[in-house]
Structure 1
Amino acid sequence: MHDALLIDRAPLGTGLFCETWTLNDPASRNALTDALVDALLNACTRAQSDTALRGVVLRGAGGHFCAGGSLGGFAKAIGQPLDAGVPDPLVPLNRRFGSLLQALCDLPQWLVVAVEGAAMGGGLGLVCCGDLVLADAGAQFGAPEVTLGLMPAQIAPFLVRRLGPAAARRWLLSGIRSGAVAAQQAGLVDEVIEGAMDGAVQAAVQRLATTAPQAIAATKHLLLQVQSALPLPALLDDAAHLFARALRGPEASEGLAAFTARKAPPWNPAA
């Protein structure tokens, strides 16, 4: 039996690492089974307290990213009404995937999503969590739920965050597929890769490895706050506290000293 999620930990420098999390069920185009969702949630929980981990690359095995949710656990419920007064077991199952998307967005490390082949339904939701999204030129994106008599329940808020309400509405209500270039134009994809994805991922990791880890974590927190319903004065207050904490911390001292001396800061692998 194969592992639903493969985790490869590679060194970036002395005591610093980047992990690649690979969705690992090529036969199903890496469909989101309960086991895969649990494995990803566990990986996110561990990463939250891993101070040596600088970043994560999320990708799929076998030439595809993720074909969406697996209906295996829901098969017996399809078309079957629920008895009156009985809690629906489908609710927590579906909600758990939303918890995963939130956990991926909340990672204090940078998250690179590398898409090859299909990124559909729940796979599209995973893409929306990336800080940097790379897509092979032949990649395909879509939310086909409404064409199947379903709804994109947990991914909808994340697609709205990523694309904005109007573009998300077009994607979610049409069920159409979009290629990599169209996805880039919509704001879902950051870079379309014409060559080898491995080289593009490595180049992205090298760029991001020059950033300071605590500064990345604080900036990601602030960006999530911007997307919340927090009133602007409260948001700016939070930003001021984050800035003061960063300026008084060791990273600012080391980073500014390195800049003055024209040297690489200690978190940069080139240091």
Structure 2
Amino acid sequence: MSSFGDSLFSDRFGFQAPDAEITVREDAPDVVRDAVLMLGYDSGIGPDSMRDIVCGVLLRRPDPNNWSQGNVENEVQYLINDAPWYKIYDLAERIYAKMLGNYNYSGKDEEFARRLNGVFREHGIGWKMEGGRIVARGSEVFEIATKDAVSTMTASGAPTAANEIHEALKDISRRPQPDVSGAIQHGMAALECVARQYDATTDTLGPIIGRLNLPKPMDDAIRKLWGFTSERGRHLLEGRDPQFEEGELVVTVAAAVSVYLLREKARSGR
């Protein structure tokens, strides 16, 4: 087997497949199952240790009749092939955790995450590994907006708003079922916190929107988004559960507008 210490051709010359459109969320196709297993082996985790990890995640007893390396590898492959999709992502986290802080795997934890994320991007998987945790991966604009929002809110003295965005990301990353309604609520709560700070008021977002000095017709768009949030995030109607893409849209817009307001506040000295 190769090792992470070897410099691969594609890494040396910077070749990589373009990011595929995200099409997979509630599934772990064979390409993901194979990647998690092979990257674990490539990190130096042997078949016996891998079986211990897999059985620990799936709460299965190792087969005492399998003791040779080939039979153990076959058992591990069977367990992974048969596992529920979300357990595969649990397994990826557990493999990372085994390597983290262990000098025998020095640097291999981050390389495991880097290469696994490459598989996710190449095959349109809507997840990514950050700090050893599997979290939802959105569109490129979603990734930029939310990352920028948290850092800007924190630097601007708006920790409550930053926490709301953090909670929105946690909700939309829940397994096996994302809490899209929760993500929508937290995303707009972040915007409401920023709007209150901008306007120096305790009003709810609805009355504040007209005082935010937003370029028209952005103010109308935010009013409609606020109404959408009320319908899909707080007062749900039977059979009208929000979709992941709708939650991603609301959180993206809320984060982007929050950053705009905080920067505008800093520029104007409000």
TM-score by length of 1: 0.25
**Higher-RCO chain (CA-CA 8 Å, sequence separation at least 6):** 2
Which has the larger share of helix? 2
Larger Rg: 2
TM-score by length of 2: 0.25
Which has the larger share of strand? 1
